[in-house]
Amino acid sequence: MKAMKKLTAVILCLLMMSAVCVPAFALTRIEEANVTFTVPQPGDTVEYKELGVDAPDEYSAKIFSVSYYDSETSQYVEQREGDTYIDGAQYRVRVQFTAKDGFGFENTVFYVNGIPYSGNIGQNLVETEFTPGQGGGNGVLIGTNIFAKIAAFFRMIIEYIRFKLSILPPKVY
């Protein structure tokens, strides 16, 4: 009887977990998301606008923040929409990627001009720096490894079984 109770608990556990997790696995993983940012000219107006992307049905990209480096204070100064780009100033622009319904990316690696970006600054933001009128910049957002999601799914199942069947105490992470 006790073995039957445990088997029922395991089956219920798997059914519950599949009902909860299948929608997450049903997301189509975005392998690569690209946006090209055109460097403005001195005197151009700062705009927080949508940018052109390679697959507009899968994701969008929008300018999230624009700031320039103030050498007197040694800090970046946030620009508001409608401000003008200053000639010779060093700017930092953050572009936010947003996946559309049915698509997703996580555990992202960022590349700016083909060079891996060292940190995920959160909110799917890609950061690039430029001086108005000089050069160009683009950001690429690379999707997650599906095996990481599968491993997380099985870890969740094991922890649920440990908890429900009291085989082992729940592991604290």
Q: Which of 139, 137, 136 is nearest to 117 (CA)?
A: 139
Q: Do residues 77 and 70 lie in contact, with contact meaning Cβ atoms separated by under 8 Å?
A: yes
Q: Would the pTM count as exceeding 0.95? A: no
Q: Strands 28-29 and 103-104: what pairing? A: parallel
Instruction: Give just the sign of the alpha carbon dihedral 117, 121, 124, 128.
Output: negative
What confidence score (pLDDT) does residue 14 get? 33
Q: Do residues 9 and 163 lie in contact, with contact meaning Cβ atoms separated by under 8 Å?
A: no
What confidence score (pLDDT) does residue 98 get? 82
| Three-state DSSP state, 128 | strand
What confidence score (pLDDT) does residue 53 get? 82
Distance (Å, rounded) from C-alpha 33 to C-alpha 61?
9
Could you tell me the mean pLDDT of each successive run of 10 residues in the chain, 173 residues long? 40 34 59 73 88 84 86 91 89 82 67 52 61 52 46 62 59 55
